[in-house]
Chains A and B, each alone.
Chain A
Amino acid sequence: MRTSNQNDSDPDQDVVFEVRDLEVTFGTNRGESRVVRNVDFDIYRNETLGMVGESGSGKSMTSSALMNAVVSPGETSGEVTYYPPDGGEPISVLDLDEEELRKFRWGEVAMVFQGAMSSFNPVKKVRGHFKETLEDHNRDVEAGLERARQILGDLYLDPDRVLDSYPYELSGGMKQRALVALALILEPEVLVMDEPTAALDLLMQRSIVSLLKDLKEEYDLTIIFITHDLPLLTKLADRLVVMYAFDIVEVGSTEEILYDAAHPYTRSLLNATPDLNAPIEEMQSISGSKPDPVTNIPGCSYRPRCPMADESCAEAEPPMADRGNGHRTACFYHDDVSDEIPIPAMEAAEEGGEGE
């Protein structure tokens, strides 16, 4: 387990979610599958937090745990504390009873899924989805629908047309935006977006991202954006969380991660990012395969794939080392990483003086 005292919240920051020792496990035929392992992190109010990592690294599970919504038979343990705005009583999300949890969901934290295409009940009009959400949370339906119209308008949709449509009558992009509007209907504090753009084409992706920026300003949102599209995140996120093998390996501001990544995995991930400006031979995939959630790798979980690994990496799990400015990384050799694993594209960009 990583030493947690260096993970304590930054006193300068207004924390909205505090996650400590988060574990999600599934019992399988092959043994216990630990899909989230000892995750600690904070989410600051009104920030956009990006979560990256390969498929199956625990991103979605971690974010589901924020709403205690890990699908059964998954077991969630640890602490997830939610701090309501204006200094209300902190809520321990994993201890809420069923009714409290029902009220908490969507009212405080809303989630937009990758499967927007199938997130709507196919036999119910879009208006019905808004209405029932308002009703079941005991909100004023009339005022709520008025708000829905306004949000839909903000998302460049024709409110009445969308509300009067059945889900199958809308295009993918419209459904995606309608789902975002549905997520905002109860004025939640936090919006979790789990690969919201995965099924959309590039243009639609970019337009949703720019809409999100506006929405965040307008509705004072905290956004958690999960994706494996790193270039997309760099345009959107204030801070990045990099996950590998069911745990966080690096946390920091987007700038820090992008220009001063101090974990070998993050740097390899940056190298693996396709870039039209970079020649194809400079693109590098990460060798080896992703770890299995049932097996436990002693020491550093990235060791089998890491070019820098040595015996000490096998002996102990590297603690989160603080590199200042809230930049933390789980590598013994975080000071040497930038020399050992260069990022050619970044260097080329710096030499060319193009910035970004």
Chain B
Amino acid sequence: MTPKYLLKRLGQAILTFLVTMTVSFLLYQAMPGGPTEAMRSVILSQSGGSVDIDRLNRMIQLYTNVNPDQPMHVQYFNYASDVILRQDLGTSFFKNEKVTTLIMQRIPWSMFISVYALALGYSLSIFLGVMTAYREKSRFDSTVSSLIIGLNSIPYYIVGVVLIYFLAIQNNYFPTGGRIGSGIAAGYNPEFMLSLVKHAALPAISMGALATSGALAMRGNAIRVLGEDYIRVAQLRGLRETRIATQYLGHNSILPMYTQFMIGIAGVFSSAVIVEEVFAYPGMGLLMFEAVKTQDYPLLMGTLLVFTAISLTAIFIADLTYTLIDPRISVGEE
């Protein structure tokens, strides 16, 4: 991997980020009742119409990082320089707190359920994909395959609602929402950990259901790999079955899916918006959902940028690490 390649990929990622930021900024501004308008109406309604225009504009600028008096390009430039140079995403005008502070509070929770969901979904995808390929055309294969097709046809939030109904309301296995049981002290004690896992389980399972779509692709790859000469030679060489299943079949079947898996990280993160609402799980997604409901533009813009950054980072890492799992891909050579 050459430094030149690294810089090039990094540049592309940054460019993508800037474009996303610009486009969403413009779209928000162009929307009827855009951020400054929304802000103005909120303040006017609170103060009963007795605020002078200068003070109003100053307040708007303070909150949104945008001065409504300035022309559009100056507004954009100010916003962009705040974001990039000072990592300042403005202030939520509903929660009255810095957007960055709000996001930082929520991000670990979203990370927690997303990683939980990804680990669950991907390991299940890989495992089921390989197993169904091994037993192609058996009853096990057709059952699991139909189940996965069914699961992928049902939107994940419906899966979430069904899970709540059966596992949390009908039976009390899991809590219906929240991220921690009430009255449990935070810290490294078993109750806290258990409560943490229990609260995250259902959201993670319903998000993980989204990630099992990989199982069918995995199955297809594994069937193809099973027909390869090197699998037969490995069997003739008297290698252990577990080695053949993991290092030969598993590894080679994952290769075409690696990038897809990494892009899937972004998908799982964005599904958090709805899943967290369904489970009343206060993470990034719920924050964004609330921001939409309350027309909290700085917060909305902020969460969107963070989601973008996460997706880009995942793809960037996927690009850089691809050569680790497939030595045939030489990164950075023209």
* Chain A residues with a Cβ under 8 A of chain B: 67, 69, 71, 101-107, 110-111, 113, 115, 118-125, 132-133, 136-137, 166, 168, 182
Of the candidates A118, A123, A137, the one having the most CB atoms from chain B within 10 angstroms of its own CB is A123
Cβ of B237 < 8 Å from any Cβ of A?
yes
In the bound assembly, the distance between CA atoms of A136 and B248 in angstroms comes to 14
Once the chains bind, are B233 and A123 in contact (CB under 8 Å)? no
In the bound assembly, the distance between CA atoms of A166 and B325 in angstroms comes to 13
Once the chains bind, are A119 and B239 in contact (CB under 8 Å)? no
Of the candidates B230, B240, B327, the one having the most CB atoms from chain A within 10 angstroms of its own CB is B230
Give the chain A neighbours of B251 by CB distance below 8 A: 121, 123
Cβ of B224 < 8 Å from any Cβ of A?
no
In the bound assembly, the distance between CA atoms of A52 and B255 in angstroms comes to 40
In the bound assembly, the distance between CA atoms of A121 and B326 in angstroms comes to 11
Q: Which of B235, B240, B328 contacts A122 (CB 8 A)?
A: B328
Cβ of B252 < 8 Å from any Cβ of A?
yes
Once the chains bind, are B229 and A113 in contact (CB under 8 Å)? yes
With A106-B238, A137-B238 given, name 14 new contacts (CB 8 A). A71-B232, A101-B238, A113-B233, A118-B230, A120-B230, A121-B234, A121-B248, A121-B251, A123-B251, A136-B238, A136-B240, A166-B327, A166-B328, A168-B328
Cβ of B69 < 8 Å from any Cβ of A?
no
Complex: chain B residue closest to A122, CB-CB: B328
* Chain B residues with a Cβ under 8 A of chain A: 228-230, 232-240, 243, 247-248, 251-252, 255, 325-328
Once the chains bind, are B327 and A111 in contact (CB under 8 Å)? no
Once the chains bind, are B238 and A123 in contact (CB under 8 Å)? no
In the bound assembly, the distance between CA atoms of A125 and B239 in angstroms comes to 16
Once the chains bind, are A67 and B239 in contact (CB under 8 Å)? no
Q: How distant is B284 from chain A, measured CB to nearest CB, in Å? A: 36
Complex: chain A residue closest to B240, CB-CB: A136
Q: How distant is B137 from chain A, measured CB to nearest CB, in Å? A: 11
Complex: chain B residue closest to A118, CB-CB: B229
In the bound assembly, the distance between CA atoms of A110 and B238 in angstroms comes to 10
In the bound assembly, the distance between CA atoms of A113 and B243 in angstroms comes to 21
Once the chains bind, are A124 and B247 in contact (CB under 8 Å)? yes
In the bound assembly, the distance between CA atoms of A34 and B232 in angstroms comes to 22
Once the chains bind, are B325 and A104 in contact (CB under 8 Å)? no
A-B contact pairs, 6 of them (CB 8 A): A110-B237, A121-B230, A122-B230, A122-B326, A123-B327, A136-B240
Give the chain B neighbours of A106 by CB distance below 8 A: 236-238
Q: Which of B229, B238, B326 contacts A105 (CB 8 A)?
A: B238
Contact A136 B255, CB 8 Å, known A106-B237, A118-B229, A121-B248: no
Q: Which of B230, B236, B327 contacts A67 (CB 8 A)?
A: B236
Give the chain B neighbours of A115 by CB distance below 8 A: 229
In the bound assembly, the distance between CA atoms of A124 and B237 in angstroms comes to 15
Which 7 pairs show the lowest CB-CB distances between chains A and B? A105-B238, A118-B229, A115-B229, A102-B238, A119-B233, A106-B238, A106-B237
Give the chain A neighbours of B235 by CB distance below 8 A: 69, 105
Complex: chain A residue closest to B235, CB-CB: A69
In the bound assembly, the distance between CA atoms of A119 and B328 in angstroms comes to 16
Q: How distant is A13 from chain B, measured CB to nearest CB, in Å? A: 27
Q: How distant is A132 from chain B, measured CB to nearest CB, in Å? A: 6
Complex: chain A residue closest to B251, CB-CB: A123
Once the chains bind, are B252 and A132 in contact (CB under 8 Å)? no
Of the candidates A105, A113, A122, A124, the one having the most CB atoms from chain B within 10 angstroms of its own CB is A122
Give the chain B neighbours of A101 by CB distance below 8 A: 238
Q: Which of B236, B238, B252 contacts A121 (CB 8 A)?
A: B252
Q: How distant is B310 from chain A, measured CB to nearest CB, in Å? A: 28
Give the chain B neighbours of A110 by CB distance below 8 A: 236-237
Once the chains bind, are A123 and B229 in contact (CB under 8 Å)? no
Give the chain B neighbours of A132 by CB distance below 8 A: 239, 243, 247
Q: Which of B239, B243, B255 contacts A123 (CB 8 A)?
A: B255
In the bound assembly, the distance between CA atoms of A221 and B240 in angstroms comes to 25
Once the chains bind, are B233 and A122 in contact (CB under 8 Å)? no
Complex: chain B residue closest to A167, CB-CB: B230
In the bound assembly, the distance between CA atoms of A133 and B252 in angstroms comes to 19
